[in-house]
Amino acid sequence: MLVYQLLIRNISKYYNIKDIKSIASIDTNTEKLTTLNYMYQYLINTNITNYITDNFISYLDNFKLVDNKFNKKVDLLFTTNKDLPKIFNYLNEKSVLIIYYDKYEKDTIELLKKNFRSIQFYKVLDSIHTFYLICYYYNDKYEMKNDIYQEYLNQLNNDFNTINDEINRIKNKSKNEIMYYYLKKLLRKIDDNQLQINPYYRKIFYYQRWKERIQIDSSKELQILEIGVYKGEMSIWFINHLLEHKNSRINLVDTWKGSVEYNEDFDKVYEEYKENIKYSKYPEKAIENRMTSLEFLAKHILKYPKPYFDIIFIDACHDSRCVMTDAMLSWKVLKVNGYLVFDDYGWNLLRDKPDYVRPKMSIDCFLNLFRDDIKIIHKGYKVFLLKIKEYEF
């Protein structure tokens, strides 16, 4: 569908679409024919007076039309059939012809040059092997104004120059710059499309986004709370990148008893977490709290009546009711100008279960309830929020 929209938009730059009163397709694939014709109808149906569908299907062998019903000429015709002399019979003197090709054929191009005023080479969506020839104004007495081969060469030169420029840019970059450049491109695709990649590696990619989205001075004292630790991959990133100040600490809250989305031996998971933290930059700054988030937050609120944490990351129980509890209590202990980050906004496991077993329902509710007190930094698979003012409740 998008391909045909792009073709129509491109044609409209050179040709008045309002002049098109009749359209048709010649194709051996009935399904493709119908789809294409309906696309044309969708785009320009207000102008079409002679719209042809089932009675304009051709056969590859003899090019006979079904029931021979169609005997008129059209203003716009799409074809994959290369029997051009017969196709010409169905064109007006000022028709547009679109031909799908996967390679150039010299004889075909020469024939088109003799019968059309201009021919345009058009490559859709950066496809390498697929392109379209758009031929304008059918008329015997005109010769083609622009050389199709020259346009093809220009396109190849442009592609080569683009690649060559990319190579030169890479040559002048360090290994870290090259890695970061391509990592950003991959991250953009992950953010936009939620690409299905291994969860462990997806976490590594996402870590690179944190410093872009959290504008915070890691040399100052910071207090971080991570709710849901698992094997400690995120914890290590916090420790290595944000806990430079001697008084900075991270509280790690997890039961290490597992949940419905994990089918693992959590005694082994806990031992792996302990081993991972041991090799972090500042293992002594990690405070382990082996309990539920409700237990930890309730005790902390009683002990510290004023907001305490600069960053809170919620990635524990995925049940929406648990997420809401964690969010509301975390808000009480988060400083103004502090960051609250939800993981797994797009988490979609347990599809046979009701919506409230996933985080999205509670996160949406929280965003709505606190819309006057927060600034949304990013909303993708993770949701980054900045607390801009306190709300007493």
pLDDT number for residue 357: 81
* Chain Cα centroid distance, residue 268: 36
Q: What are phi and psi of 302, to 5 degrees?
A: -70, -35
Task: Please tell me the predicted confidence (pLDDT) of residue 165.
Answer: 72
Please report the pLDDT score of residue 147 as a whole number.
53
189 SS3 class = helix
Q: What tens-digit pLDDT sequence spans the chain (393 residues)? A: 556 666 777 777 767 777 777 777 776 555 555 555 655 665 555 555 555 544 344 433 333 433 344 556 778 877 776 677 777 877 877 788 888 766 656 777 777 877 787 777 776 554 444 567 777 766 544 444 455 555 555 666 676 667 667 667 666 767 667 666 666 666 666 555 444 545 545 555 566 678 778 888 989 999 999 999 999 988 998 998 899 999 999 999 999 998 766 678 889 999 999 998 988 899 999 999 999 999 999 999 999 889 999 999 999 988 899 999 999 999 999 999 999 999 989 887 766 777 778 899 999 999 999 999 999 999 988 899 999 998 766
CA separation for the pair 245, 222 (Å, rounded): 7
Is this model's pTM higher than 0.85 or not?
no
What pLDDT, on a 0 to 100 scale, did the predictor assign at position 153?
57
Q: What is the pLDDT of residue 223?
A: 97
Is residue 264 within 8 Å of 272, Cβ to Cβ?
Answer: no
Cβ atoms within 10 A of the Cβ of 67, count? 8
DSSP 58: B
- Extract the tokens encoding 318: 């995925």
Q: Distance between CA atoms of 65 and 56, rounded to whole angstroms? A: 6
User: What is the C-alpha separation between 93 and 15, in angstroms, rounded?
Assistant: 14
Tokens linked to 125: 């969506």
Do residues 75 and 92 touch, judged by C-beta distance below 8 A?
yes
Using DSSP, state whether 24 is helix, strand or coil.
Answer: strand
Domains of the chain: 2-159 (3.40.50), 173-213 (no CATH), 215-387 (3.40.50.150)
- Residue 104 has a pLDDT of 58
Instruction: Judge whether 345 and 385 are in contact, CB under 8 Å.
Output: no
Residue 57 confidence (pLDDT) = 42
50-51 sheet: strands from edge to edge: 50-51, 22-26, 74-79, 91-101, 131-138, 116-122
Q: Which of 121, 61, 56, 134 is nearest to 95 (CA)?
A: 134
Q: How far is the CA of 126 from the CAs of 131, 138, 244, in angstroms?
A: 9, 28, 46
H or E stretch at 5: helix 2-12
- Two structure tokens written together for 94: 């000022």
Distance CA 223, CA 283 (A): 15
**Tally of CB atoms within 10 A around 285:** 20
Please answer whether residues 176 and 145 qualify as being in contact, where contact means their C-beta atoms are separated by less than 8 angstroms. no
